[in-house]
Structure 1
Amino acid sequence: MMTRNPGRILVVDDAPLTRGLLEQALLKYGYSVDTAQNGQQAIDSFHEDHPDLILMDANMPVLDGVTACARIKALPEAKYLPILIVTALMEREWVDRAYAAGATDYITKPVNLDVLRNRIHYILQAKRAEEALFDEKEKAQITLASICDGVITTDAKGLVEFLNPVATNLTGWTTQAAQGLPLNSVFCIIDEKTQQPIDLPMQCCLEEGKRIKIENPILLHRDRINRFAIEDSAAPIRDRHGNIIGAVLVFNDVTEKRKMTQALAYRATHDALTGLYNRDEFNLQLERMLQAPRDKNTEHALLYMDLDRFKIVNDTCGHEAGDQLLKDIALLLQKQINAHSCFKQTTLARLGGDEFALLLKNCSQQKAFALAHNLREAIEKFIFFWKTSPDEKGVFTIGISIGLVPISTQLNNSKSLIAMADAACYTAKNKGRNTVHIYQENDSEASHKNIQWVRLLNENLEKKQGFYLFYQSIISLN
């Protein structure tokens, strides 16, 4: 037995007997029923009552049912209204006209009430399912319009079907303009590092059913001026049978987030004052270089540099002047290194204070020594000006002591290398400063002795009787 399925039905027929029979039957089935005698009354009743279904005779005076059907279906609010045309068996031309006018279906006279009952039931059931589907689609559209992510959907061939507002803002394409275009024509991305175009591998998604994700892409706007750092992923869309019928691409703007991440990464690896690499990053680069595969002909070099007479500037003019001098020296060193095209793989760092280090990859001792002398001469010629008072300006010249360590395949300990370079720099200072010294084995011994003296002095300074004072009187011979 069919369950009661309430709905409002408009019965339109010029024959009172037929109209009354249909009305009584439909009331018995649990429907609310309105009636009309011709097509014009049907149109007026629709405007007033908005029925869920119209059961209308095809051939009526004043205005026939097919013409009335066409006029009602032309109304925006009747777009999804089911209209069932009732016609006699001999009126086949009315059936063709009815379908052309937008009728949902037809039923023949004399009306079989059981057929009518079932047909109305399933037509209204389909109508409610269609309305529910429409409501779900509207909810989905509103959701897609409200979320912060860009969404693009494609068909099974990878041709664009839909873009939500966020996707439109980021790509510059509207759904209307992009429909039917290949996804890579609308969603244009480039590699963040190489700046080269990237084709989204949609075949993996559409043919193999795999989710895809591109690492750190940059999305180009349609105007090719604006660009956005994004995070994206694409997944296949399947029907209820599991067949792939399209794909959905979801992406969001992470430009500010990526800028912040890059800024934090920069601060972690660079010296805040000079913009050069810091000690930690230099040690990491050195370690990576030592761990990389090397043959017996591979040559690298390490320069350890310490400014001469920097303390004079710092003590005379203050830390602000010292900081400015360090920034100037960093720029000068970088400029000199860049001027030599043969030194393409370099790592220049400020280790702290007035100490700098330079790592030269694939560089012979001879070339490293020549570069060290160029750096020394450039620093020697550099003149630093600083206003010491409103009326006076200080003029300073400094020097630089450089220790050079050739890195052979036998050397693979980064700490030992830095210690050797430091010892060579210390020897350069002991030789009179402002010079370049290539590391020798006894450099470490001299440096070690100096460290022992420093430790001994510090230890005795902390003792009450760590030092004894002796003096020699100065007596005039006259």
Structure 2
Amino acid sequence: MKADAQESQSLVLIVDDEPFMRLILRHFLEREGYQIAEAQNGIEAIKVFKQLHPHIVLLDAIMPDMDGFECCSQLQNFDCSKYTPILIVTGLEDQVSVDRAFAVGAMDYVTKPIHWAVLRQRVKRLIEQSQLQKKLEAANVELQRLATIDGLTQVANRRRFEEYFNQEWQRMKRDKRPLSLILCDVDFFKLYNDTYGHRVGDRCLQKIAKTLKYIIKRPGDLVARYGGEEFAVILPNTNAEGATHVAEKICHAARTLAIPHKNSQVSPHVTLSAGFTTEIPQPDSDIEEMISAADRALYQAKAAGRDRFVQNIQLPKSKNSS
């Protein structure tokens, strides 16, 4: 029975110091539909492995210079080996040799003289299992990503905001570096929804989110939907001057979008209000207080007429900062 179309694309690396054994393995596996690469010793096998990234390795256990066990152990050190099963081909079947094969990372073994029907099934099964593992891990990564993404705007959700802000708060505290937080809100968004409908309102939020992602480009920064029409921007290693520049760009970009808002009380277009705060986290400082400080600055921006940004100046806790 021939390998199916997907298997026929699989590359098998045959490693054996005996030319005749490589020849008969090649002929058998080519008839099964596999592509073949060869190496005549362990050192050459490592070189070919790094170049070609085969889907499976058939590795002779007993070879001069570097035997199959040592070669198998070294292959495990390469990132590309994660989804590449190694099948030891050996004339040894004592318990010590079998245990050693699995200890160095082999997924299975076949003995010489080779039972061809067994080899066919083991090669097929190991490749299938490896590809399935790869797909499952990719699916898990995607599920984790989706769990932290806001479905409407495709920026980070509130859960991811809280996780990341806490992470960066602790890191900036350890490194004694400034952390800035911007909270921004779409001005008169309830009026916008009432005027144009919720579907148009959703598209408005999507455009705002896309614009924020375009502005916030550093890998360590994060844009999140904080709730409703409110967004948050986390800026690690950013002082007040840097945060001022970003907040100004955010407000300007919203105006540049020129999304009509005929019932806005400040502009014929959609605008944003933003508040931010900057802090070098201290051992006795409070992460929730920093969020509250940015929220107070956002409130001040709205109270001052909207379509602007305000930096929070921390007040002593005994005073009324609202």
Normalised by the size of structure 1, how large is the TM-score? 0.46
Partner of 2:242: 367
Q: Secondary structure at the match of 1:397?
A: coil
C-alpha displacement of 1:257: 2.9
- For residue 207 of structure 1, what is the amino acid of its counterpart? E
**Residue 248 and residue 295 in structure 1: after superposition, are their counterparts in 2 closer, same or farther (change >3 A)?**
closer
CA contact (8 A) 1:152 1:248 kept: no
AA at the equivalent of 1:410: Q
1:207-226 map, 5 Å: 207=70, 217=80
What's 2:131 paired with? 253
Counterpart for residue 115 of structure 2: none
Partner of 1:285: 164
- SS in structure 1 opposite 2:156? coil
State yes or no: 1:185 paired with 2:48.
yes
Deviation at 1:442, TM superposition (A): 4.8
Per the alignment, residue 148 of structure 2 pairs with 269
Distance 2:241 2:192 in 1: 33
Shift of 1:431: 1.8
Counterpart of 2:114? none
Could you tell me which amino acid in structure 1 is paired with residue 189 of structure 2?
A: F
**Could you give the per-residue CA deviations for residues 272-319 of structure 1, whole angstroms, max 9, x where no partner exists?**
111111111111111111222656751121111111122222111111
Pairing 1:422–2:301 present: no
SS of aligned partner of 2:83:
strand
CA gap of 1:213–1:329, structure 2 versus 1, over 3 A, is same
The structure richer in strand per residue is: 1
User: Are residues 414 and 234 of structure 1, via their aligned partners in 2, closer, same or farther at CA, if it must alter by over 3 Å?
Assistant: farther
Where does residue 187 of structure 2 map in the other structure? 308
Instruction: Report the alpha carbon displacement of residue 426 of structure 1 after superposing the two structures with TM.
Output: 1.5
Higher relative contact order (CA 8 A, sep 6+): 2
2-structure distance, mates of 1:298, 1:326: 32
Distance in 1 (alpha carbons) for counterparts of 2:298 and 2:105 = 63
8 Å contact from structure 1 (residues 402, 424) kept in 2: yes
1:405–1:312 Cα change, 3 Å = same
Aligned counterpart in structure 1 of residue 258 of structure 2, from 363, 366, 383: 383
For the 8 Å contact 1:428–1:436, the answer to whether it is kept is: yes
Is the contact between residue 153 and residue 247 of structure 1 (CA under 8 Å) also seen in structure 2?
no
Out of 298, 307, 331, the residue aligned to residue 210 of structure 2 is: 331
Partner SS, residue 410 of structure 1? coil
Cα distance per residue 1:81-130 (max 9 Å; x no partner): xxxxxxxxxxxxxxxxxxxxxxxxxxxxxxxxxxxxxxxxxxxxxxxxxx
Contact persistence 1:237–1:248 (CA under 8 A): no
Is the CA contact 2:251–2:272 (under 8 Å) kept in the aligned structure 1?
yes
Could you tell me which residue of structure 1 aligns to residue 83 of structure 2? 231
Distance 1:421 1:436 in 2: 11
Q: Is the 8 A contact 1:423 1:439 kept in 2?
A: yes
SS at match of 2:273: strand
Once residues 418 and 209 of structure 1 are traced to their aligned partners in structure 2, the CA distance between those partners, rounded to angstroms, is 52
Q: Does 1:318 align with 2:170?
A: no
Distance in 1 between residues matched to 2:234 and 2:157, nearest whole Å:
13
Change (3 A) 1:329 1:145: closer
Alpha carbons 1:336, 1:375 under 8 Å: kept:
yes
Residue 417 of structure 1: how far off its partner (Å): 2.3
1:336, CA displacement in angstroms? 2.5
Distance 1:409 1:421 in 2: 14
1:102 aligns to what? none
Q: How many angstroms does 1:321 deviate by?
A: 0.3
Matches for 1:52-131 after TM superposition, within 5 Å: none
Is the deviation greater in 314-323 or in 370-379? 370-379
Residue aligning to 1:222: none
Measure how far apart 1:205 and its partner are: 6.6
Instruction: Work out the CA distance in 2 between the residues paired with 1:360 and 1:292.
Output: 12
Paired position in structure 1 for 2:276: 404
Residue of structure 2 aligned with 1:439, choices 309, 312, 317: 312
Counterpart amino acid of 1:383?
A
Unmatched 5+ residue regions in structure 2? 55-60, 108-125, 262-266
1:31-62 Cα distance to aligned partner (Å, 9 max, x none): xxxxxxxxxxxxxxxxxxxxxxxxxxxxxxxx
Q: Distance in 2 between matches of 1:204 and 1:310?
A: 70
User: Structure 1 residues 283 and 209 mapped into 2: Cα distance closer, same or farther (>3 Å)?
Assistant: same
Q: Secondary structure at the match of 1:263?
A: helix
The 3 A distance-change label for structure 1 pair 216 and 207 is: closer
- State the distance in 1 between where 2:194 and 2:203 align: 14
For each residue in 1:357-383, what CA deviation from the matched residue of structure 2 results, as whole angstroms up to 9, or x when unmatched?
A: 001111111111121112112212321
Aligned equivalents of 1:353 and 1:204: distance in 2?
A: 63
Residue identity in the other structure for 1:325: C
Q: Matches of 1:237 and 1:345 in 2, distance apart?
A: 48
Cα distance in 2 for residues equivalent to 1:205 and 1:405: 60
Over aligned residues, Cα RMSD in angstroms? 4.3
| In structure 2, C-alpha distance between the alignment counterparts of 1:435 and 1:426, rounded to whole Å | 11
Q: TM-score, normalised by structure 2?
A: 0.65
CA distance in 2, matches of 1:262, 1:292: 24
Q: 2:226, 2:201 → 1: CA distance?
A: 16
Q: The residue matched to 2:177 in structure 1 has which SS?
A: coil
By how many angstroms is 1:265 displaced? 1.7
What's the CA shift for 1:173? Answer: 2.2
1:173 to 22, 35, 39: 35
Q: In the comparison of the two structures, how many residue pairs are matched?
A: 264
Please give the alpha-carbon distance, in whole angstroms, between the structure 1 residues aligned to 2:17 and 2:39: 13
**What amino acid sits opposite 2:165 in the alignment?**
L
